[in-house]
């Protein structure tokens, strides 16, 4: 059947960036399953999957703005080194969690300077135009319970 709102969709994908580098692929894990029309996957991908049928293969180009967003330079900040435990090893490229109130934010350490640390709060995929080579494996109507929970139940998941 075709992908429409409230269907449970399984699809394989190979995700590449604008240079053709493979970022992620579902081949070894098995297909990704999601509830269509419930904002479970990035908006540009969900919009383009709409209406595809079981067995369909397609190359879907998703611009950064409809994927993980554009990079925002105001999300890059310099914080004093002593905001981190003295014994914490700070390695550029690794991620740290903010300790403030509200929802935790993941920051990537850009640079460690003598007295400060440069943190980047952008999603690692922000600013990237993405390409998904997809194959729709299965489409079925979601159950009432799945719709109530807002996610797909497959296997023995039962919460």
- How far, in Å, CA of 9 to CA of 138, rounded? 6
Q: Judged by CB under 5 A, how many residues of this single chain contact Zn ion?
A: 2
Q: Is the dihedral of CA 43, 48, 51, 56 positive or negative?
A: negative
- How far, in Å, CA of 95 to CA of 81, rounded? 15
Select the residue interacting with Zn ion from 38, 71, 123, 149 (CB under 5 A): 149
Residue 38 engages Zn ion in binding (rule: CB under 5 A):
no
From the list 26-34, 55-63, 117-125, 147-155, the region that binds Zn ion by CB under 5 A is 147-155
The residue among 97 and 144 lying less far from Zn ion, judged by its C-beta, is 144
Q: How far is the CB of 58 from Zn ion (least distance, A)?
A: 29
Q: How far is the CB of 148 from Zn ion (least distance, A)?
A: 8
Helix (H, G, I), strand (E, B) or coil at 90: coil
- How far, in Å, CA of 44 to CA of 36, rounded? 13
- How far, in Å, CA of 5 to CA of 62, rounded? 20
Confirm if 9 and 36 have CB atoms less than 8 A apart: yes
The residue among 123 and 151 lying less far from Zn ion, judged by its C-beta, is 151
Q: How far is the CB of 6 from Zn ion (least distance, A)?
A: 15
CB neighbour class for 103 (10 Å; exposed up to 12, middle 13-18, buried from 19)? exposed
From the list 56-64, 96-104, 122-130, 145-153, the region that binds Zn ion by CB under 5 A is 145-153
Q: How far is the CB of 97 from Zn ion (least distance, A)?
A: 26
- How far, in Å, CA of 144 to CA of 130, rounded? 33
The residue among 19 and 157 lying less far from Zn ion, judged by its C-beta, is 157
Q: Which residue has the CB atom at the shortest distance from Zn ion?
A: 149
Binding region for Zn ion (CB under 5 A): 149, 159
């Amino acid at each position: 059947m075709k992908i429409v709102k409230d269907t449970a969709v399984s699809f394989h994908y190979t995700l590449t960036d604008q240079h053709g580098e493979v970022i992620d692929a579902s081949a070894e894990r098995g297909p990704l399953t999601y509830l269509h029309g419930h904002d479970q996957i990035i908006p540009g991908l969900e919009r383009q999957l709409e209406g595809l049928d079981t067995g369909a293969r397609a190359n879907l180009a998703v611009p950064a703005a409809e994927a993980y967003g554009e990079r925002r330079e105001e999300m890059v900040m310099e914080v004093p080194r002593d905001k981190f435990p003295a014994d914490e090893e700070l390695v550029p490229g690794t991620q740290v969690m903010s300790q403030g109130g509200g929802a935790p934010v993941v920051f990537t350490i850009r640079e460690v300077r003598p007295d400060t640390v440069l943190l980047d709060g952008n999603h690692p995929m922000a600013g990237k135009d993405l390409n998904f080579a997809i194959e729709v494996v299965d489409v079925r109507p979601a159950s009432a319970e799945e719709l109530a929970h807002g996610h797909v139940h497959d296997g023995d998941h039962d919460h």
